[in-house]
Amino acid sequence: MKLATLFFGRRLSNREQGTRKLGWFEAVPAMGLDGLGSASYGPEAALTILMPLGAASLAWIGWVMAPIVVLLAILYLSYRQTIVAYPSNGGAYTVARENLGRNASLLAAASLMVDYILNVAVGISAGVGALSSSIPALQPWTLTLCLVVLALVTMANLRGTPEAGWLFALPTYVFVVSFLGLLVAGLWAIVVTGGHPHPVVAAPHLGDASGAIGVWLFMRAFASGCTAMTGVEAVSNGVSAFKEPVIGQARKTLAVICLVLGLLLGGIAIVAHFYAVGAMDQTKPDYQSVLSQLTAAIAGRGVVYYVAMASLLAVLSLSANTSFVDFPRMCRIVAQDGYLPRAFAVADRRLVFSVGIFVLTVAAGGLLILFGGITDRLIPLFAIGAFLTFSMSQIGMVVHWRRQGRGHAGRLTINALGAGTTVVAVLVILAAKFIDGAWITVLAIPTIIVALYLIHLYYDKLDASLQCSAPFTIEEADPPTILVAVEGRNRMTDQALQFAMTLSPDVIAIHLLRVSGPDTDDDGKRLKEQWQTDIVAPLETRGTKAPRLMLLPAPYREMHEPLLKFIARLDEETPGRSVAVMIPEAVKRRWWEYVLHTNRGARLHRMLLKHGNARVKVVIAPWRPDQV
Amino acid sequence: MKLATLFFGRRLSNREQGTRKLGWFEAVPAMGLDGLGSASYGPEAALTILMPLGAASLAWIGWVMAPIVVLLAILYLSYRQTIVAYPSNGGAYTVARENLGRNASLLAAASLMVDYILNVAVGISAGVGALSSSIPALQPWTLTLCLVVLALVTMANLRGTPEAGWLFALPTYVFVVSFLGLLVAGLWAIVVTGGHPHPVVAAPHLGDASGAIGVWLFMRAFASGCTAMTGVEAVSNGVSAFKEPVIGQARKTLAVICLVLGLLLGGIAIVAHFYAVGAMDQTKPDYQSVLSQLTAAIAGRGVVYYVAMASLLAVLSLSANTSFVDFPRMCRIVAQDGYLPRAFAVADRRLVFSVGIFVLTVAAGGLLILFGGITDRLIPLFAIGAFLTFSMSQIGMVVHWRRQGRGHAGRLTINALGAGTTVVAVLVILAAKFIDGAWITVLAIPTIIVALYLIHLYYDKLDASLQCSAPFTIEEADPPTILVAVEGRNRMTDQALQFAMTLSPDVIAIHLLRVSGPDTDDDGKRLKEQWQTDIVAPLETRGTKAPRLMLLPAPYREMHEPLLKFIARLDEETPGRSVAVMIPEAVKRRWWEYVLHTNRGARLHRMLLKHGNARVKVVIAPWRPDQV
């Protein structure tokens, strides 16, 4: 417990839940990190696809990014409306559930889960990519660094979101200011030099062309570039976190995020073109991310470079954090609806939903290990989930406005446009990325949906069998027969017997022979004699009925089998009578006490419940070694 | 359970324990594998130390092996006597315990544990070394192969030792016959050619000398070569397994093992000398073990070679098996004496002591991983444990004969000689191998001894507090107050309440508010109303006292805290009264049911015991979802 306090802070009471609301200036870093961080890997992912074109890739990157920026504008307009319509929680799962029904909401939930998990893996791997661009010696440690960052982010989230907004605000605004500044400087140099800027540090020469542009390559580049838009939905998920006027603040936040992201995407495309910056292979030792090359070309490898790169690393690591905030919260809602294990809905000692955090860490860690921490390999899996979510949310909004009736035609049109374009994007991404890895996502999503259904089925059945409508009755039953499992005569069994005799006049002590193995020295006869002199005789002297001792063989060294057999015999004699097995248990306070005791009692408890009939109960008689 | 049956066979009853006794012909493979297998790595380990001498190493290997063979003869004579003196179990732990007292026996136990663990690691790594000598393509997979063999040996031992003696006998006798045959053929060729035999496949050329022989190098080579003697004590450990005449059979077995081992060691030294076979580096891709080179030199790489190598691999893997038989048995004896956790003394479903097997596997696997499965790196750790064991056993025997009084002077002298030489060997090995890795063993042994002491201390205290001498009494106590933890009104709580009311007239239902977190929808008021109409009203109608419902806040989402606080309040009202907390528990039959339930009940049970006072008991009211 002390260790937990050291690492995660003291535990928090229900009353200590944070209630501070956000204004737009704080909300941009808190909710925009995921979206803004995407600017670093989206254009790079598109350029990576264009690599076979060699230098010609630069001529095409603008054409690839243009529709993405347009799509971003459409998404901005669409989500503006979601905020108005769902001012408490407009996550895709909720919107789909309210408007499209159960199946659609589960599709949205599964897509979101995949999206959140991939966002963690991609954000961290891109951040580590940025780090090893700056310090090439770290390149062989890519995967290790990814896992270290993941562990740190997990730890921070198990502590719970701190009120320290500056932790998020500082790197975000440094990132925004430095990269917008760099892009302006780059554009200025381009204009001044008539389109022929002189890079401070020239980007590595682009390889020779090994292919030509075609519809297929263009589609694939577009699909990869679409990852730049992931995270745009974050504001609509958390509208309830804003201060008054809620809708105004949320809309302002969304506008700032989309505007900055759009400027970054457009700027990067133009500057990369004129400075001849292309993508490089992250698995090669001389790898440099696109933003690293761009920054070096515009500003050299000086202070500005390192500040910009440091802010980028921070933003990408913290963009993983967005998933850590949203994934457990969404899982909680899904669990409350009965589609995920109930443990997802339990707030832990720091009031966070730690089961969701663990699942997210394990899943993202697994992906990072599987793909060696290489961003480029994760990208094909990524965009699908995000765009499926966008589509579900937009389609849900279209239905929402239709239900609201006339007078919402304009809004309906905008969301319909959003729905249409995102559905087209999903299809393009699916076609373009299927073989590269999107098939994994395509397999994962239905698998998750089936799991969600099965979980719900279980809870439905459970609830049905728990349900009772009749008023409470009792059948005036006798106290149960109590079987006390005794190892020998000692303080522990004495206490158990004394307790048993307060519960029922009908107590039988059971000693199981040779539960540890065939050649154990287990003298039933001696115990029987001792029982007579130490227990039966003194009780009978004072006229109390003494519990008799039964010796039962345990040929397979399982305690529950002879006990259940004996109980079956009792059942024949006195049908309908309840039986409680009393298990004396030495109280353990330290982990090593579990190692030093055989813990047979716990197994007996489990097995009696598993194999016993409805009338078999269990009583634990605790015994504390340190008490007299 | 079906899976366990598939892998490990059906479970065995206490009556099914094997009782078949061994004759010497069966005992040589069963008990001699460890000793005979050592012949393959002992001489090689000595030659490895001599590698810096280049070709000159061949001139010295004879001088190194000669004292080892003499030492072996002394050990033979000594252990012959141990067999007579301890015809049931003459393991070093027992002999030391009987004659030298507790401290010495714990030293022997710790040394034996280390020895057994290293025997597994060295046996398997040497076996895999032999395999990759024959099939060089396997060389990069050394560690993986080691772990696979370890897993197979573990699985086989969890099934329990089969009566199939041929599994051990066949490879052992093939090994003995083929290698003795090879050595005879080699010696014959040496004699016939006047000391200049023509190898069929010449051994790789020995490197240039980079050093000269000196006392230090000689000592180190001797210390490494001593690993050839590990396993000689096995016969004395298991005398009880022999058929009548027990002592005769055991002595014959020991004689055969020592004789064959001595012939192998001497023969290998001579033949290696004349065929110019030296050691090679196991980490290099062209590695060939000494026995592989020897066999190829004498018989070529034909059928004989592959048969001999296959028998060697089998013998070495099975020599690891010796540890798997002896380690759990010794741990069981030590656990019965109260120096190891009691779980070591519990026979599992196949009547084997699986805790010991698991510990051995984990420890040996850890060593293999740590040292990359390279025999040469493990050797320095190895001989220390074995020779410490020899010394403890011999010193114990000296004391034994002294206690027996006069008339045992001859026997005493032999064991004193054994004790003297093995103590010297321990000192030599310690000095020669300390830096190379023996320090690890030197650290491990006292650490284990301290652990054994601490475990004993715990059990001593536990036994003392369990002890009761006074006759049993009861204080005519009232039934306890029963607190039933209820989530809501449903069949599970109904059953629990009904059961509680048969145990005591004093039942209180407790509902904890917001145990899942601050914004859970937990309406205590509605439950209170429902309680009144569904439970209190119908009971009062029929004149029964109804259990009242208490709502308690659980600010830290821990159930035991508010309950224990409430119990403390009850204690003030009715001091001395026992309280039982009744925990309704849904019975789980499948692993995924544990995932789908929050398992809060199990935590409540644990925490109530850990933090409650002596009068707090626990009652489990099982509820089966499938029962009406």
pTM: 0.84
Share of chain A above pLDDT 70, in %: 98
pLDDT tens for each residue of A432-472: 889 888 899 999 999 999 999 999 999 999 999 998 888 88
> Which strands sit side by side in the sheet containing B507-513, from one edge to the other?
A548-553, A507-513, A481-485, A579-586, A616-623, B616-623, B579-586, B481-485, B507-513, B548-553
User: Do residue B545 and residue B419 come from a single domain?
Assistant: no
User: Do residue B436 and residue B541 come from a single domain?
Assistant: no
User: Do residue A209 and residue A334 come from a single domain?
Assistant: yes
Query: Do the domain assignments include residue B51?
Result: yes
> Which of A617, A618, A623, A628 to probe the B interface (max B CBs under 10 A)?
A617
pLDDT tens for each residue of A594-621: 999 988 999 999 999 999 988 899 999 9
Query: Do the domain assignments include residue B8?
Result: no
Q: What is residue A458's predicted lDDT score, i.e. its pLDDT?
A: 94
Cα–Cα distance, B269 to B267 (Å, whole number): 5
Query: Do the domain assignments include residue B372?
Result: yes
**Dihedral of CA B257/B263/B269/B271: which sign?**
negative
Give the strand pairing for A616-623 and B616-623. antiparallel
* Residue contact B597–A342, C-beta within 8 A: yes
**pLDDT above 50: residue B373:** yes
**pLDDT above 50: residue A593:** yes
What would the mean pLDDT of B547-561 be, rounded to a whole number? Answer: 92
* Residue contact A517–B351, C-beta within 8 A: yes
**Which residues are CB-neighbours of A177 under 8 A, at least 6 positions away?**
none
User: Do residue B56 and residue B142 come from a single domain?
Assistant: yes
Q: What is residue A164's predicted lDDT score, i.e. its pLDDT?
A: 54
pLDDT tens for each residue of B172-201: 899 999 999 999 999 999 999 988 888 888
User: Domain of A317: which CATH number?
Assistant: 1.20.1740.10
Cα–Cα distance, B149 to A22 (Å, whole number): 60
Q: What is residue A12's predicted lDDT score, i.e. its pLDDT?
A: 83
Q: What is residue B569's predicted lDDT score, i.e. its pLDDT?
A: 94
**pLDDT above 80: residue B155:** yes
Query: How close is the nearest chain B Cα to the Cα of A105, in Å?
Result: 21
- Rounded mean pLDDT of chain A? 88
User: Do residue B435 and residue B570 come from a single domain?
Assistant: no
Of A457, A112, A69, A464, residue with least CA distance to A269: A69
Amino acid identity of residue A35, one-letter, is: G
B161 confidence band (pLDDT: 50, 70, 90):
low
| Both structure tokens of A229 | 């838009």
**Could you say which of A347, A474, A557 has the minimum Cβ distance to residue B501?**
A474
Query: Do the domain assignments include residue A302?
Result: yes
* Residue contact B348–A557, C-beta within 8 A: yes
What would the mean pLDDT of A508-520 be, rounded to a whole number? Answer: 88
Q: What is residue B628's predicted lDDT score, i.e. its pLDDT?
A: 44
* Residue contact A502–B617, C-beta within 8 A: no
User: Do residue B344 and residue B443 come from a single domain?
Assistant: yes
* Residue contact B619–A544, C-beta within 8 A: no
Count the Cβ atoms, other than its own, within 10 Å of residue B165: 17
A214, β-bridge pairs:
none
User: Do residue A220 and residue A151 come from a single domain?
Assistant: yes
Cα–Cα distance, B199 to B213 (Å, whole number): 27
pLDDT tens for each residue of A136-192: 888 888 899 999 999 988 988 888 755 556 777 888 899 999 999 999 999 999 999
DSSP letter (8 states) at residue A621:
E
Helix, strand, coil: what percent of chain B each, to 5? 70, 5, 25
Single out the residue in A393, A426, A460 at which a domain terminates.
A460
Using DSSP, state whether A419 is helix, strand or coil: helix
Q: What is residue A340's predicted lDDT score, i.e. its pLDDT?
A: 96
Q: What is the ipTM of this complex?
A: 0.86
Smallest CA–CA distance from A595 into chain B, residue = B341
What would the mean pLDDT of B460-479 be, rounded to a whole number? Answer: 85
Single out the residue in A410, A425, A460 at which a domain terminates.
A460
Query: Do the domain assignments include residue B441?
Result: yes
* Residue contact A465–B625, C-beta within 8 A: yes
User: Domain of B583: which CATH number?
Assistant: 3.40.50.620
Query: Do the domain assignments include residue A590?
Result: yes
Of A229, A282, A217, residue with least CA distance to A79: A229
User: Do residue A549 and residue A453 come from a single domain?
Assistant: no
pLDDT tens for each residue of A384-422: 888 898 899 999 999 999 988 878 888 899 999 989 999
pLDDT tens for each residue of B211-249: 777 888 888 899 889 988 888 888 888 787 888 888 899
Query: How close is the nearest chain B Cα to the Cα of A341, in Å?
Result: 5
* Domain range for A48: 23-460
Query: How close is the nearest chain B Cα to the Cα of A175, in Å?
Result: 36
**Could you say which of A478, A517, A627 has the minimum Cβ distance to residue B346?**
A517
Q: What is residue A506's predicted lDDT score, i.e. its pLDDT?
A: 93
Query: Do the domain assignments include residue A156?
Result: yes
Cα–Cα distance, A224 to A50 (Å, whole number): 10
Q: What does each C-alpha distance from B488 to A467, B534, B535, B583, B600 come to in angstroms?
A: 10, 12, 12, 13, 15
pLDDT tens for each residue of B397-439: 999 999 888 788 888 999 999 899 899 989 988 988 898 888 9
Ordered DSSP codes for A273-292: HHHT-----TTSTT---HHH
Contact A58, A276 (CB under 8 A): yes
Count the Cβ atoms, other than its own, within 10 Å of residue B93: 30
Contact B159, B350 (CB under 8 A): yes
User: Do residue B446 and residue B502 come from a single domain?
Assistant: no
How many separate domains does chain B show?
2
Query: Do the domain assignments include residue A14?
Result: no
User: Do residue B388 and residue B447 come from a single domain?
Assistant: yes
Count the Cβ atoms, other than its own, within 10 Å of residue A45: 29
Ordered DSSP codes for B393-429: HHHHHHHHHHHT-TT-HHHHHHHHHHHHHHHHHHHHH
User: Do residue A63 and residue A125 come from a single domain?
Assistant: yes
pLDDT tens for each residue of B267-297: 999 999 999 998 888 778 788 889 999 999 9
CA A421 to chain CA centroid, nearest Å: 29
Q: What is residue A628's predicted lDDT score, i.e. its pLDDT?
A: 44
User: Do residue A450 and residue A591 come from a single domain?
Assistant: no
